[in-house]
Structure 1
Amino acid sequence: METKRTLLAIMALCLLCAAVTESMSLTRIQELRCLCIKTESKPIHPKHIKNIEVIPNGPHCKNVEVIVTLTNMEEVCLEPSAPWVKKIIDKILASSKVPEPTPVA
C-alpha cells in the first residue's frame, strides 16, 4: 500500500512539473496585456543587439511591440514608429524573404 502511494505521489509530481514547464514557454505569447510599458526611441548600435522580437498587435495589446535583447541580456522595448527601428525591421523582413526560383530555359 505504501509503494502505491509513493508511486502515485511521484506521478503527480511529474505531471505537475510537465504542466508548469509547458506553460512557461507559452507565457510570453499568452499574456493578455502589453509587455512594453515604456519604449526607447533613441538608436541602439546593432553590435549591442543580440536578438529582436516583433510582437504584432492583437487581443493582448493594441500596439505592435518590438523587444530587443542586448548583448548584456537586458531587454529593451523599442518605439516601433522610430525611423531607425523601421529600418531594422525592413532589413530583417528583406533578409527572410525566399528568392523566387529562376525559370530554366
Structure 2
Amino acid sequence: MSCKITVTVLVLCLAFATLSEGMSVKSLGTELRCQCIKKESRFIHPRLIKNVELFPSGPHCKDAEVIATLNTGNKICLEPTAPWVKILINAILKNL
C-alpha cells in the first residue's frame, strides 16, 4: 500500500515540476523565433514610449530586435539601424 502512495507522490511531483518549468519559460517572454516581422524606422517621440526591450541576436533570431511599448499599450518593433533608435539604445545602455 505504501508503494502505491510513494509512486503517486512521485508522479505528482514530476507533473508539478514539468508544469512549473513550462510556465517559467513562458514567463520569461522568450520566443523561439523572431518577434518582429515589420520594423518601424520613422521617428517616434520618446514621450509616447513607455518601455523599450532589447533582444540581441541569437539562436532564436539572427537579427537584434528592439520592441517599444507605447503609452497606449501597443507594442511596435523598431528598426535597430535607424539613427534615432541607435541614440535611444545608447541612452538606455548608458543608464544601466
Does the TM-score normalized on the shorter chain lie above 0.5? yes
The residue matched to 1:23 in structure 2 has which SS?
A: helix
Task: Determine which structure has more spread, i.e. the larger CA radius of gyration.
Answer: 1
1:1-105 pair list within 5 angstroms: 18-28=20-30, 30-31=31-32, 33-96=33-96
Alpha-carbon RMSD: 2.6
The 1:95/1:26 distance shift into structure 2, 3 A limit, reads closer
The residue matched to 2:51 in structure 1 has which SS?
A: strand
- Give the unaligned 5+ runs of structure 1: 97-105
The residue type paired with residue 40 of structure 2 is E
The residue type paired with residue 77 of structure 2 is C
Q: Deviations over 1:54-91 (max 9, x none)?
A: 10001111101000011111000000000000000111
The 1:15/1:62 distance shift into structure 2, 3 A limit, reads closer
The residue type paired with residue 76 of structure 1 is I
TM-score (normalizing by structure 2): 0.75
Name the count of aligned residue pairs.
92
TM-score (normalizing by structure 1): 0.69
**% identity of equivalent residues:** 45
Query: What CA distance in whole angstroms lies between the structure 1 residues aligned with 2:36 and 2:24?
Result: 24
